[in-house]
Amino acid sequence: MRVAITRDVSPAVARCELTHLERVPIDVVAARLQHRAYEACLASLGCTVERLPSAPELPDSVFVEDAAVVLDEVAVIARPGAPSRRLEVPAVAAALEQYRPVVRVEAPATLDGGDVLRVGRELLVGRSGRTNAAGIAQLRGMLGAYGYSVREVRVHGCLHLKSAVTAVADDLLLANRRWLSADDLPALDVLDVHPEEPFGANALRIGDAIVYAAELPRTRERLEARGLRVHTVPAGELAKAEGGVTCCSLVFDAPQRAKA
């Protein structure tokens, strides 16, 4: 079965971390409705959705992606670069322990899951405002034994690596090359976002399907022109919190249901 771990939108989401965006009001009810639609989309694609509860002291906890990196063999429990977000980690780690052995990023390293993109046996890791050199080094050290190599990608002007690039097929990246050093990318075909949609590089691939923000129609056309099957979800409310579609889930295969 395929599991998608999600987490409810915190009633305090308006107090989220913001780095590259101006703060604007966030409608919690609308954000929750959109989040439910996102979960329904994941379920329609065959995922068993496991929603964790949130809390007022965890404004950004809906963005579960940042708390871990889940691979087939192991889950890496992250240490988010924003101190306010470290309290989010234990509940996500506890959920993942039901499915995978876990290893942990330790201080002084910082690493956000949003900075890690798996492409085959290679992990592209953003050197961002959230993930430091020690975080990348620890990841490399922990995952070499599992046969993964780690490639550092410099990120600038956006929050995470996956704001700037995601993989939409085994051999195709979707990217906003203004936000990363394109020389750092592996030698794969790159589809550019539409110039009027700088946030368009964040796509969530589930099997052969692409989950994508409904607010980005021009880049969606480019994806569809490549023959990709795109499922749109409303994502505008959480975009105000600097989150995209990959940020709101951890999706992985599991042989069976979580232990009781």
Name residues whose C-beta falls within 8 Å of residue 125's C-beta, 6 or more positions apart in sequence: 111, 115, 116, 117, 131, 135, 136, 139, 150, 151, 152, 153, 161
Three-state secondary structure string covering 118-143? EECCEEEEEECCCCCHHHHHHHHHHH
Closer residue to ligand CIR (CB): 50 or 242: 242
Identify the DSSP state of 36: H
Chain centroid to CA 187: 22
108 vs 89: CA distance, rounded Å:
16
Cβ-closest residue to ligand CIR? 114
Tell me whether residue 247 is one of the annotated catalytic residues: yes
Q: How far is the CB of 90 from ligand CIR (least distance, A)?
A: 17
Task: Write out the residues near ligand CIR by the rule CB under 6 A.
Answer: 16-17, 19, 60, 63, 65-66, 82, 85, 114, 159-160, 162-163, 241-244, 247
Determine whether 20 is an active site residue.
no
**Which candidate in 16, 47, 247, 248 is catalytic?**
247
Closest CB 222 distance from ligand CIR, rounded Å:
21
Please give the structure tokens belonging to residue 133: 């050199």
Nearer to ligand CIR, 81 or 228 (CB): 81
Q: Which is nearer to ligand CIR, 109 or 126 (CB)?
A: 126
Closer of 144 and 236 to ligand CIR (Cβ) = 236
- Which residue, 77, 74, 48, 47, is CA-closest to 64? 77
CB of 260 to ligand CIR, least distance (A): 30
The first and second tokens of residue 91, run together, are: 């509940």
Rounded to the nearest angstrom, the gap between the alpha carbon of residue 46 and the centroid of all alpha carbons in its chain is 19
**66 vs 237, beta carbon nearer ligand CIR:** 66
Pairing outcome for strands 116-119 and 149-154: unpaired
Among residues 189, 176, 198, the alpha carbon closest in space to that of 227 is found at 189
User: Which one of 35, 47, 160, 248 is the catalytic residue?
Assistant: 160
Minimum distance between the CB of residue 234 and ligand CIR, rounded to whole angstroms?
17
Query: Minimum Å distance from CB 187 to ligand CIR?
Result: 25
Give dist(CA 130, CA 161) in Å, integer.
10
Residues with active-site annotation: 160, 247
